[in-house]
């Protein structure tokens, strides 16, 4: 267990309009903090701070709010997919991008179709373009290691919320989930179409498709790497419970049951810490219980205790109170690549409808 948290570094916005939303962000390996604010899914502002809170750059030139939600910290900046959800105004498109601390951006050209990504625990990411059925492996500098076409059904979503889940295990093997029944013209697969999956090994060789045994739409699932090998699947749509539903051994087409320690913790996010020797576990599902603590778990799910960040955050940023009526903050957490803990809180103004967002971070807390 780490020592109790001390005083965090704090960045707080001016009052923002209700459609301007903050996200927890992440850090790169140097501890530089990415702070994203999106006005809507295709309009994004990025602020990058050094670990001490000095502003290094700000930019509104990087489009695609998906980058702010899903950015991956690498050795010297942040990588991710920018997906443009045009909502009927034209064909959807995507590109891959890398943002540096000085505000510089390395971007590919926009290409047709929406794309989803999965972080490679060894570095880099996988990117799936559903319309072309191509899965590509990118290194941290956005060089393509390999690309392969997958045996998945026809699926060309126009809404970012319907991107297919991509997971990468600690050995670099990838799992993509997709609907068993093809998409019909102008119609998504029926809700009971079922879910199929396909593994691709670390060298880019895909296996055969297999039945996952779930009735949810595949985009309602999220994949997390297991530190003992393989992946976990969690229900992720707002109407779902946030329960973990299945586990997958690496490259195995036979999904298994979820271990008890995970079944008892619905709605959590799992972030590997300390070079993969444990997890930081914290509420990550929309309906998860509020709070400002992180549980530390071993790779086998044994609890090492909790770290309470609540006393150190700006308590006035929350309208939630405890049993005594004392303000009790509710945090959205992220744990960055270097082990920095980021806690995001917000304070709404009922009179004018504005919101102030506050980021608190503890540099290299779980290093």
Q: Return the pLDDT at 34.
A: 96
- Its domain, for residue 105, covers 1-110+311-367
189 with 255, same domain: the answer is: yes
Examine the pLDDT at 315 and tell me if it is beyond 80: no
Would you say 243 and 266 are in contact if contact means Cβ atoms under 8 Å apart? yes
- In the three-class reduction of DSSP (H, G, I as helix; E, B as strand; rest coil), residue 310 is classed as helix
Last residue of a domain, one of 246, 264, 282: 264
Is residue 17 situated within a structural domain? yes
Is residue 296 situated within a structural domain? no
Q: Return the pLDDT at 83.
A: 80
244 with 139, same domain: the answer is: yes
Kindly state the percentage of the chain with pLDDT values over 70: 87
Q: Tokens 């009927």 correspond to what residue?
A: 88
Q: How far is it, in rounded angstroms, from Cα 165 to Cα 278?
A: 24
Is residue 275 situated within a structural domain? no
193 with 254, same domain: the answer is: yes
36 with 145, same domain: the answer is: no
Q: Return the pLDDT at 2.
A: 65
102 with 126, same domain: the answer is: no
pLDDT tens per residue across span 263-280: 999 999 999 999 999 999
Is residue 330 situated within a structural domain? yes
Output b/e per residue, 265-280; b: 16+ Cβ within 10 A. bbbbbbbbbeeeebbb
64 with 181, same domain: the answer is: no
Q: Return the pLDDT at 239.
A: 75
Is residue 300 situated within a structural domain? no
Q: Return the pLDDT at 192.
A: 66
16 with 48, same domain: the answer is: yes
100 with 120, same domain: the answer is: no
186 with 211, same domain: the answer is: yes
Kindly state the percentage of the chain with pLDDT values over 90: 69
Contacts of 278 (CB under 8 A, 6+ apart): 227, 272, 296, 297, 298, 299, 304
pLDDT tens per residue across span 150-205: 999 988 887 888 899 999 999 999 999 999 887 666 566 666 678 999 999 999 99
Higher model confidence: residue 366 or residue 191? 366
Q: Which of 42-46, 295-299, 339-343 has the lowest mean pLDDT?
A: 42-46
Higher model confidence: residue 133 or residue 130? 133
Token duo for residue 169: 């295990």
Last residue of a domain, one of 264, 293, 324: 264
238 with 136, same domain: the answer is: yes
Q: What is the pLDDT confidence band of residue 316, given thresholds at 50, 70 and 90?
A: very low
Is residue 284 situated within a structural domain? no
Is residue 85 situated within a structural domain? yes
Would you say 189 and 217 are in contact if contact means Cβ atoms under 8 Å apart? yes
Total domains, the chain? 2
Which domain CATH number covers 220?
Answer: 2.40.128
Instruction: Determine the average pLDDT of the residues in 218-228.
Output: 96
Q: Return the pLDDT at 39.
A: 80
pLDDT tens per residue across span 82-128: 887 555 556 788 999 999 999 899 999 989 888 999 999 999 999 99
Examine the pLDDT at 358 and tell me if it is beyond 50: yes
Q: Return the pLDDT at 325.
A: 53
3 with 88, same domain: the answer is: yes
Q: Return the pLDDT at 92.
A: 82
166 with 44, same domain: the answer is: no
Is residue 339 situated within a structural domain? yes
Mean pLDDT of the chain: 89
Last residue of a domain, one of 204, 229, 264: 264
């Amino acid at each position: 267990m780490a020592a109790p948290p001390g005083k965090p570094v704090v960045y707080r916005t001016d009052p923002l309009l209700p459609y301007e939303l903050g996200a927890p962000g992440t850090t790169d390996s140097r501890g530089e903090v990415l702070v994203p604010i999106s006005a809507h899914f295709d309009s994004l502002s990025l602020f990058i701070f050094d670990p001490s809170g000095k502003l290094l750059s700000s930019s509104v030139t990087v489009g695609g709010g998906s980058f702010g939600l899903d950015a991956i910290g690498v050795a010297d900046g942040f990588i991710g997919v920018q997906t443009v959800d045009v909502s009927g105004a034209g064909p959807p498109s995507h590109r891959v991008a890398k943002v540096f601390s000085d505000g510089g951006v390395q971007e590919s050209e926009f290409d047709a179709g929406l794309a989803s990504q999965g972080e490679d625990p060894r570095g880099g990411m996988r990117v799936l373009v559903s319309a072309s059925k191509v899965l590509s492996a990118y290194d941290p500098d956005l060089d393509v290691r390999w690309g392969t076409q997958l045996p998945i059904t026809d699926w060309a979503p126009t809404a970012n919320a319907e991107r297919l889940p991509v997971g990468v295990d600690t050995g670099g093997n990838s799992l993509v989930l997709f609907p068993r029944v093809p998409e019909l013209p102008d119609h998504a697969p029926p809700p009971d179409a079922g879910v199929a999956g396909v593994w691709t090994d670390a060298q880019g060789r895909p296996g055969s498709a297999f039945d996952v045994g779930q009735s949810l739409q595949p985009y309602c699932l999220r994949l997390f790497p297991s530190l003992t090998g393989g992946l976990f699947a969690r229900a992720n749509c707002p109407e779902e419970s946030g329960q973990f539903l299945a586990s997958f051994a690496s490259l195995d087409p036979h999904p298994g049951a979820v271990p008890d320690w995970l079944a008892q913790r619905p709605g959590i996010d799992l972030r590997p810490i300390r070079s993969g020797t444990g997890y930081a576990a914290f509420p990550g599902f929309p309906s998860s219980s509020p709070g400002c603590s992180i549980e530390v778990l071993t790779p086998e799910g044994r609890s090492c205790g909790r770290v309470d960040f609540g006393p150190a955050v700006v308590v006035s940023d929350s309208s939630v109170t405890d049993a005594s009526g004392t303000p009790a903050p509710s945090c959205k957490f992220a744990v960055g690549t270097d082990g920095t803990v980021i806690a995001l809180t917000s304070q709404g103004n009922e009179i004018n409808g504005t919101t102030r967002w506050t980021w608190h971070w503890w540099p290299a807390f779980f290093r």
